[in-house]
Structure 1
Amino acid sequence: MKGCKVSDANRNRTVGVACQTLDELKVKGSQKLCIKKNVRVQLLDGTFVNDEDYFQTLPSQTVFLLLKPGESAFTGADILYNALQAVNLDYLRAGKEVQKFFTQNVKEKVMNLAKLLNKASHIQNVQLSKKADDPDWFEGTESRSATKEEFMARRSQDRIRGYMYKTQDDLKKSEAYQNDQICQKKLTEALQEMNLRLKANKYFRDYFDRSAVSDRLCDSAGTFQCKGRWDLPRCRYKGVVTNHHMINPYASRESRIVFSTWNFDHVVERSRSIVPAFLEAAKLASNNNTAINTNYFYRLLFTTDNLKLVHIVCHDKGAHNVQCDPCKFTVSKSVV
């Protein structure tokens, strides 16, 4: 039995639930929150939990948001509002003006907030690592991580796991998976192989871990630099101090919170391009007696061959005009 916490989309109320499975969490959580409709389960960082295996990897006391159909949880501006409250900016006491502040130009305000936090990134606490030495940094995390590096590594793993579970879910919902047994077999084999590779690579925990020897996306102090919009070679932000967006989430609790708004951007998009290409690869492999090129799709989904860590201002959610390479969809079985 695992102790969990559940809340609704507005996060007005959080209650404890003891459960063993994801389905049990949904039933008991819905009862305690008086939600009658079927719910979706989401983590505080926006990752949906729709797989029992993923649920079992999450630690006790994790907070789950139970969302009604069509409902979305507060993110983005709400997180930033809490961060601004934490640094006690005077204008946050302006009552109704606070609400107006967050109704327009949110991205611009994120950018200005980043400037403030960058100034704070040189404080003494940035070098501290253990929870016992900088307990304020861990406030609100509900994490058993003993160090900042361990916590950040787990956040990196959460994001990569999220891409795996979302992709798996999308593929299993497809017509090809549900109605074509050969395609289903090809997709199942490819997903199993990718899951094994992710476990072997520890779900790329090193991306956010400043103590990692390789694969980390920050310097040894923990400072991350935005890689720029998907179609640009670098971040084009021009600030007073720097010529690119940067942040050190290891510096303070506020910086850690704001870093959660930074995104991994798939240059070749996951939902618009990679998943459809994955399905096409399964069909080709079924017809030609070949195998899905798992390595190709793995690198597109989870590695920095196709992932760019970007500031929210540089995260363009419009359609990207790059597609998967059809020549790389399948490989001969001897190559697998």
Structure 2
Amino acid sequence: MSAVFRKPKTFRLRALHSQRKFGVAGWSCSEVLQKGCRHFQLPVTGSRLCLYEDGTELTGDYFWGVPDNSELLLLTSGQTWQGYVSDISRLLSAFHKPHAGLIQAAQQLLSDEQAPLRQKLLADLLHTVSENIAAETRAEDPPWFEGLESRFRSKSGYLRYSCESRIRSYLREVNSYASVVGVEAREEYSRIVDVMCRELRAAQYNGSYFDRGAEAGGRLCSSEGWFCCQGPFDMDTCASKHSINPYGNRESRVLFSTWNLDHIQRSSNALQVAIPLLGTRWY
């Protein structure tokens, strides 16, 4: 179409770190850029326009191919934008140290939301940002200790006990399996189990695995208490990137008690694989 009959292109424009948008029309990329800089009181030199959705820079050649009413972002010298990726990054940064305003805004959105999927996303967001991860003692986070014996005064102390109990439970299952081991392998099986018992007793049943206050090499979580799934025992990582922090709230603590950090659902499955190997002596 001849430029004589063209209408000016229309856009919705905003500056980086600003939620204010305004409508702007122009016959060229340069005209829209100048109008935007004037509106936001930004220098024209070094500034440029890009598409909000993917960060593609708007140039003269691309100008007329962009649909009307597309959202543009005005960037000054040194600023970058990767589209929705940048938005997600900013959102994650807000979650790292959530403030009351974020929680209040999410609560308001949830109260008015009708779509089930958006309700689920908002509810999960609130669940995450409302966690009291930093708190450690019963006095600092009483709800976390609901249902636990009064002797547990700290989160780390309880989770250390929980880990020891879980290891002891696994060990009892291993012991009970001796009755189904063939006669020819039973003696070797018992010898190995005895070695395991002594090693675990000496290591205090590896209770430090769940204790975020333990030395880095002795725990399976971060210093904040985050556990990341280690994937199936025969793989290096977990493709699903499962993670959980039982230090956050009571619900996470209870859910963590059902977690298997290596995808093994039944320890007997591993035992059924190991028993045939007893023909080889282990020292």
Instruction: Between the two structures, name the one with larger relative contact order (CA 8 Å, sep ≥ 6).
Output: 1
